[in-house]
Structure 1
Amino acid sequence: MTARNAPITRYTRRIASLLRRAAEQDQSHMTLSRLVELLGPRAHRLLLLVVSLFNMVPGPPGYGGTIAWTTCAIAIGMLMARPIRLPGLIGNRKLPLNVMVRASEQVVRVANILARFSRPRMRWLTGAAANLPYAILVIVVSVVMALPIPFINAIPNVGLCIIAFSMLNRDGIGVIVGLVATAIGLGVAIAIFVGAFHLGMAAVGSMG
């Protein structure tokens, strides 16, 4: 299988094409609910890749938390084997479409490069049976990433991106790499959280 015909290459080209088509209709922003509708309410894995990539793009205050809870909602839909339905508070959040289009085009280029090294292997780690543990992992990680602490979501999100990419490309080795990156990220996030807690307690103590 060539990189051009790899599953992940086809998926990322589809994302870019759909977003470009929406932008050509003179839309400036797109709600998260509309994004789910566009890519498919049952395209859990594809949407997990998209939102994890969006989480790497800097945004306004509250953006990271919104994406984290969106990730959690998608994973819950996967866990329950049901179509994705975002709560209004999250689903009505608008994202700038021009930024999404540029990001999707970059993703296509990166996917073309990564697909040269990633290929279907150890498929038992990426089959339908993996949906349950995958969804539970994403829910746990997204709840941690939703904590209002700066930089707490960066490394775990990289791990989720690798897993999502590998799941779509049926690459079990990539899933293992993503799990390691996620574990490291969670360890760093916990360390940051504990450090912030101790700093807060020290600050409160100094005021006493």
Structure 2
Amino acid sequence: MLPHHDPHADAPIPLSSQLHEIIAEAPEKLSFTELAEWLDARAWGGLLLVFAAINMLPLPPGTSAFFALPLMIIAVQMVMGRAAPWFPSKLDRRGVSRKELARLVGKVEWVEQKIERMFRPRLPQLTGAMATRLIGLTCFLLALIAAVPIPLFHVAPAAAIAVFGLALIYRDGLLLMFACLVAVLSLAFDALLLGSGLEALAYMTAWLRH
């Protein structure tokens, strides 16, 4: 039986605790659709956080578009107002193993334990149905930027998406406002990264011509 947790409770359980329950009770491997079912009402935010966490890691050159694709798929469905996530069959079958979930929990749990007491349901209108569509649109645009095949270009947009995911998980409107700030800062960081790269390229080109 899938566990059910009330996302509107005064003190929602930490996501890491919910993932521990999934690791303990779920089959050895879950499709992404099954993972969404286990995450229940937290499916959209949980999936955003899971895939954003992957995109925050150093990725092999040229693979950023592949790893950003699941984020785009999720975000588009949020914009459409779907009740539950859907994945293409090939991606869905890839799924996630309990071992991979355990590694993810190990990476985020210590951070969540330090800050989880700050998260709680507040300003509910900022995480409602219409707001979720706007969050989906924002995350889609951030995922497009994360897909650009420039080293480290994916990290800042993925971090912003992760904060949006946490805001949805905890139904925290104040955290959502912080996520918007992180999104703006991520764009500024990538613009600086791109500008520095172009400047370095122009310098190298001029140097080679001489």
Structure 2 runs not aligned, ≥5 long: 1-8
Deviation at 1:179, TM superposition (A): 1.1
What CA deviation, in whole Å up to 9, does each residue of 1:78-119 have, x standing for no partner? 111234333467556576753431222443443343221222
Q: Which amino acid aligns with 2:35?
A: L
**Do 2:81 and 2:133's aligned partners in 1 also have CA atoms closer than 8 Å?**
no
Say which is worse superposed, 50-59 or 151-160, in terms of deviation: 50-59
Question: Does 2:136 match 1:135?
Answer: yes
Q: Which residue of 1 aligns with 2:33?
A: 36
Change (3 A) 1:203 1:183: same
Say which is worse superposed, 103-112 or 179-188, in terms of deviation: 103-112
Deviation at 1:66, TM superposition (A): 2.6
Pairing partner for 1:15 from 19, 41, 53 = 19
- Rounded to whole Å, the distance in 1 between the matches of 2:64 and 2:97 is 15
**Do 1:8 and 1:115's aligned partners in 2 also have CA atoms closer than 8 Å?**
no
Q: Which residue of 1 aligns with 2:175?
A: 174
Deviation at 1:152, TM superposition (A): 1.2
Change (3 A) 1:111 1:8: farther
Q: Which residue of 1 aligns with 2:77?
A: 77
**Do 1:44 and 1:74's aligned partners in 2 also have CA atoms closer than 8 Å?**
yes
Q: With the length of structure 2 as denominator, give the TM-score of the two structures.
A: 0.75
Q: With the length of structure 1 as denominator, give the TM-score of the two structures.
A: 0.76
Change (3 A) 1:185 1:46: same
Residue 7 of structure 1: SS of its match in structure 2?
coil
**Do 1:8 and 1:111's aligned partners in 2 also have CA atoms closer than 8 Å?**
no
- Rounded to whole Å, the distance in 2 between the matches of 1:182 and 1:92 is 31
Change (3 A) 1:35 1:201: same
Structure 1 runs not aligned, ≥5 long: none
**Do 2:119 and 2:175's aligned partners in 1 also have CA atoms closer than 8 Å?**
yes
Pairing partner for 2:11 from 6, 13, 17 = 6
- Rounded to whole Å, the distance in 2 between the matches of 1:5 and 1:62 is 43
- Rounded to whole Å, the distance in 2 between the matches of 1:103 and 1:144 is 23
Written as runs of structure 1 = structure 2, the 5 A alignment for 1:34-113 is 34-40=31-37, 43-61=43-61, 64-82=64-82, 83-87=84-88, 90-91=91-92, 97-113=98-114
Deviation at 1:188, TM superposition (A): 1.0
Q: Which residue of 2 aligns with 1:187?
A: 188
Change (3 A) 1:86 1:35: closer
- Rounded to whole Å, the distance in 2 between the matches of 1:143 and 1:81 is 20
Change (3 A) 1:113 1:206: closer
**Do 2:45 and 2:167's aligned partners in 1 also have CA atoms closer than 8 Å?**
no
**Do 1:65 and 1:147's aligned partners in 2 also have CA atoms closer than 8 Å?**
yes
Identity level (%): 23
Deviation at 1:63, TM superposition (A): 5.1
Change (3 A) 1:164 1:201: same
- Rounded to whole Å, the distance in 1 between the matches of 2:96 and 2:56 is 14
Change (3 A) 1:205 1:85: farther
Deviation at 1:180, TM superposition (A): 0.7
What is the CA RMSD across the aligned residues, in angstroms?
3.2
